[in-house]
């Protein structure tokens, strides 16, 4: 599978954000960074509000594109959801189970390859994003 330069660049940028969120800052405890980095699930990761805001806006923009695309294009575009979602997933889930559940349900619609479902998913992402960011501005 060929990865576009834009997608590769976005993935690299998100990796940097995720690494900074996991490893940055000082701590008085003695964590084992190497062990936790390999065994931590996305749902367990936490990041700052600014990273969540950036990630949610990127997901919302991508969802809108998927909702406007043909079935085949939408299916291809939906492959970009997970790299955007993974670095912020745990923080969103910890802050708002409602938003987390709305996103997960919307992602199923967006990834379906069905234009009508993708449009519903795009709308659900936009509404969940707006509600979350009103409550947890970054």
Placement of tokens 């449009």 in the chain? 119
Q: What is the pTM of this model?
A: 0.71
Placement of tokens 């745990």 in the chain? 90
DSSP letter string, 50-101: HHHHHHHHHHHHHHHHHHHS-HHHHHHHGGGHHHHHHHHHHHHHHH-HHHHH
Per-residue pLDDT of the chain (138 residues; tens, 9 = 90+): 444 444 444 444 444 344 344 444 333 333 434 434 455 787 788 999 999 999 999 999 999 999 999 999 999 999 999 999 999 999 999 999 999 999 999 999 999 999 999 999 999 999 999 999 999 997
Torsion of CA 61, 55, 15, 38, to 10 degrees: -120
Contact 23, 33 (CB under 8 A): yes
């Amino acid at each position: 599978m060929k990865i576009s330069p834009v997608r590769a660049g976005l993935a690299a940028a998100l990796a940097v954000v995720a690494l900074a969120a996991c490893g940055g800052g000082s701590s008085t405890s003695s964590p084992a960074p190497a062990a936790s980095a390999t065994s931590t699930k996305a749902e367990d990761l936490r990041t700052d509000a600014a990273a969540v805001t950036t990630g949610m806006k990127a997901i919302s923009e991508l969802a809108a594109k998927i909702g406007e695309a043909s079935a085949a294009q939408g299916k291809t575009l939906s492959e970009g959801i997970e790299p955007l979602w993974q670095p912020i997933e745990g923080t969103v889930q910890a802050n708002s189970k409602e938003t987390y559940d709305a996103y997960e349900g919307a992602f199923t619609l967006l990834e379906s390859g069905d234009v009508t479902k993708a449009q519903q998913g795009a709308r659900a992402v936009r509404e969940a994003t707006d509600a979350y960011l009103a409550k947890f501005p970054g």
